[in-house]
Amino acid sequence: MIEFKNVKKVYPNGTVALDNVNLRINDGEFVFIVGASGAGKTTLMKLLLREEKLTSGSLTVDEFDLKKLSNFKVPYYRRQLGVVFQDFRLFPNKTVYENVAFAMRVIGEPSKVIRRRVPTILSIVNLQDKYNCFPRELSGGEQQRVALARAMANNPRIIIADEPTGNIDPKMSLEIMNLLVKIQKKGKTVIVVTHEKNLVDYFKQRVVTIGEGGVISDTVGGMYNAEV
Amino acid sequence: MRRYSLTYFIGQSFKGLWRNGVMSLASITVLMSCLLVMGSFSLLLANINYNMEEIGLLNEIVVFIDENSTDEQVAAIGTEIKGLDNVSGVRFISREEAHESEMAKLADHPNLLQRMSLDKEIYRHSYVITYSDNSRVSTLQYQLEHLENKGVSKIICRTDLAETIESLKSGITMIFIWFLAILMVVSIFVIINTIKLAVFARRQEISIMRYVGATNWFITLPFVFEGIFIGLLAGGIGYLLQWYLYTYVYNIIITDYNMISVMAYADISHYVIAAFLAIGVVTGIIGSSISLRKYLHA
């Protein structure tokens, strides 16, 4: 479970990015985070990834209290998350297989386990035939599927996708979203930050709208708030 | 706690070196150049000291014995001198030996010899003393002037020469130590900047590692190994170049300036290789660790 309680984030230059944010995301939920540019979505993600520390309030992710989490424990916390970015962030010099395997190697998985698990994950994202390709040899949609496979490699409880369809065509976007829904149905919590009104409206999941540094609407099975 | 494979890190380091070929080459070249400059100055300093030591060895103290002393008194003085601290050798020259030696020197000048009519009675027994530490000559001279056994008539000691050599040696050593220290600091800065460029080129790779939960040491270790390999390569190549350079200069000096003594490279090569590899590896490790620090904040 993820819980924001009266969360406030003020950057060193005095900018108040988030103020009094209260939000609870239960295990296994699918949540769209939407909002205009500068609304505070990125800050919300940074707090969740523990790239930034909150100024006041509390933020807990399962057993981790992110306000008190020491820098030493941050890598262990991040292993509970699978992260997908708009720009894919794949290792350009590693093959599809190596990109996925890397996430497992980081946490010290034995090579035997890696050799068994990576093909299984690649087949979930339908890339089993492209395991030996480099990212530059793949389309945007395929690269995002590799990123998704890497995010799932360590069987995390939470998947965070920051504008996952921002750099890919509509058909691929739908495919990526379907994959995310499929992952959520397997019991994972999925948080998707997006601007794509069509996708939000199509999937009819919980929609949290961020605006002016706070939560301005939170609806289950909702639609993209056109006024934002 | 799962164990990471050392071979994995070493493999990653080699891949990193290969993929960042230009930067790796730049790091090796810079480090090797710094080692060469430092090595050349160190060897110059070592040779200056070596020559100073040789000049120092020419220093002797001559103790003349009173002509009225008995053979027993002469022997007792000799024994006492041998027991003094800082005395490395004592050679007795009897008045007969001194006379013969002088006669031999003047053998080629018979007219002079005739005019001088050297009588052996004008000579005295003497002890020629060599010492090990130039810096303590004054103490030795004082001890010789205050021997328990009486009978010393005169002491000839070039304390001024010994002190000049000693202060010259200390001065040169100090200048070179400071010079080497400055050179070392400059080298580390140059290496850090070179490795920083390599790390900067791979900052995205590091940020991905952080997102997938890599610990700082997991991120650092391949870079540290890279630093070690860069240091080893720079040290190894630098050693070979130093060898060539030193031998080249050595041959010129022993051919054209044979009054200068030069240490043989074979006598010092093990120090050079050890120092080059050690400095190379340490600089590589420090350079990569400092360069990465910025990217390791959670």
Smallest CA-to-CA distance from B118 within B102, B131, B105, B130 is with B102
Count Cβ atoms below 10 Å from residue A102 Cβ, excluding itself. 21
CB B93 within 8 A of CB B159: no
Q: Is A202 on the interface with B (CB under 8 A)?
A: no
Q: How is B59-104 classified by DSSP, letter by letter?
A: --EEEEEPTT--HHHHHHHHHHHHTSTTEEEEEEE-HHHHHHHHHH
Chain B partners within 8 Å of A83 (Cβ):
211-212
Q: Is B262 helix (H, G, I), strand (E, B) or coil?
A: coil
Count Cβ atoms below 10 Å from residue B148 Cβ, excluding itself. 7
- Chain A residues 147-176 within an 8 A CB cutoff of chain B: 150, 154
CA distances from A190 to A18, A83, A100, A187, B66 (A): 22, 10, 19, 9, 108
pLDDT attached to residue B134 = 74
CB B155 within 8 A of CB B141: yes
Q: Which residue of B has its CA nearest to A82?
A: B212
Chain A partners within 8 Å of B211 (Cβ):
49, 78, 83, 89
| Residue B59, pLDDT above cutoff 80 | no
Residue B109: pLDDT band (50, 70, 90) is low
Contact yes or no for A110 and B2 at CB 8 A: yes
B188: Cα separation from own chain's centroid: 22
Domain boundaries, chain B: 6-55+164-296, 60-157
Count Cβ atoms below 10 Å from residue B213 Cβ, excluding itself. 22
Mean per-residue pLDDT, B20-38: 84
Contact yes or no for A150 and B298 at CB 8 A: no
Measured torsion, CA atoms of residues A125, A128, A134, A138, in degrees rounded to the nearest 10: -50
What are chain A's domains?
Answer: 1-80+158-170+184-190+209-218 (3.40.50.300), 90-156 (no CATH)
Mean per-residue pLDDT, B27-31: 84
pLDDT attached to residue B118 = 61
pLDDT attached to residue B1 = 39
Please name the member of B8, B19, B204 whose beta carbon is closest to the beta carbon of A105.
B8
Q: Which residue of A has its CA nearest to B211?
A: A78
- Chain A residues 98-157 within an 8 A CB cutoff of chain B: 102-103, 105-111, 150, 154
Long-range contacts of B31-34 (CB under 8 A, 24+ apart): B31/B187, B31/B191, B31/B230, B31/B231, B31/B234, B31/B235, B31/B238, B31/B280, B31/B283, B31/B284, B32/B234, B32/B235, B32/B237, B32/B238, B32/B241, B34/B183, B34/B186, B34/B187, B34/B190, B34/B191, B34/B283
> CA A73, CA A78: separation in Å to the nearest integer?
9
Count Cβ atoms below 10 Å from residue B147 Cβ, excluding itself. 16
State pLDDT tens for residues B166-218.
787 788 888 878 887 887 787 777 767 766 777 777 788 788 888 888 888 88
State pLDDT tens for residues B132-174.
887 788 888 888 888 877 788 888 876 666 677 778 778 888 8
Q: Write the class of the CATH domain B60-157.
A: alpha beta
φ, ψ of residue A36 to 5 degrees: the values are -70, 165
Share of chain B above pLDDT 70, in %: 87
| Residue B106, pLDDT above cutoff 60 | yes
Chain B partners within 8 Å of A107 (Cβ):
2, 213
State pLDDT tens for residues B220-264.
888 888 888 888 999 999 999 999 999 998 888 877 776 677 888
* Packing angle, helices B216-256 and B6-19, rounded to 10: 60
Contact yes or no for A78 and B205 at CB 8 A: no
Partners of residue B127 on adjacent β-strands: B63, B92
Smallest CA-to-CA distance from B63 within B155, B158, B157, B159 is with B155
Mean pLDDT (10-residue bins), chain A, 228 residues: 95 92 95 90 92 94 94 92 91 92 87 93 93 94 94 93 88 90 94 90 92 88 64
CB A24 within 8 A of CB A189: no
Count H helices, E strands: chain B? 10, 4
